[in-house]
Amino acid sequence: MDRELWRKAVEFHGHECPGLAIGFKACEAVIEKMGITFSKDEEIVCVTENDACGVDAIQIITGCTLGKGNLIYRGTGKMAFSFFNRTGKQSIRIILKQFKGEMDRKERQEYILNAPVDELFDFGRPAFELPEKARRFKTISCEICGEGAPEHKVRLNEGKKVCLDCFVNYSRGW
C-alpha cells in the first residue's frame, strides 16, 4: 500500500473512513490491471455508480474529475466503478464484493486497505460503451429567471426557453 498516496487521499477527503479506502483500493486495482497513470486530460474515464466517499480517492489518484468531464456519475447506488482508457481502448468494471463477518469501522478500513484487490472486488466489462468526450455548449439565458444554462439543459415551457430550475415538468406516470 502506498502510504503517501493514502495520506493525500485522506487530506483531500478530510478524514479516514472505510468508504475512502474502497475508492483507494479500486484505484490500486485499476492501476494494477490496466496500468493506468494519472489522467492529465480525458485519456482515462471513470464512470462511478455511487456518490460516496470513495469517489474522492478516485479523483485524487486517477485525475478523473467532474470538471474535466472524465468522471461521470451514473446513480445506480452500487459500489462499482468502470474505467476506460481512451488511448489503449481498454475498460474494466470494478464492483465491491459483499463483506463477510462483522467488523467495526476501523477494522473494516484496515481490512480494505490491506486485503488483495481480488479478495475485495469482482472484475468484469462495463455493460455500456465509453462515454464521448466532454463537449462545450452554448449558454442560453432562461426567459424566466435570466440565468445562463448550457443549451443541452434548456427546456421549452409554454414556448419559452427555460432552465431546469424554472421548468415545470409534466408527467402522467410514464
- Spell out where the chain has E strands: 44-48, 71-73, 80-85, 90-96, 121-124, 139-141, 148-150, 155-157, 160-162
Residue 73 pLDDT: 96
Closest CA to 74 of 95, 105, 103: 95
Neighbouring-strand partners of residue 120? none
Write out the three cell numbers for 17.
Answer: 473512513
pTM: 0.85
Structural domains for the chain = 3-124 (3.30.1330.130), 136-174 (3.30.60)
Tell me the per-residue pLDDT of 53-91, one tens digit each, with 9 for 90 and over: 999 999 999 999 999 999 999 999 999 999 999 987 899
- Give, as one character, the DSSP assignment of residue 153: G
pLDDT at position 100: 86
Q: What is the mean pLDDT of the chain?
A: 94
Cα separation, 60 vs 72, in Å, equals 15
Chain centroid to Cα 45, Å, comes to 9
Conformation bin of residue 8: beta by default, left when phi > 0, alpha when psi is -120 to 50: alpha
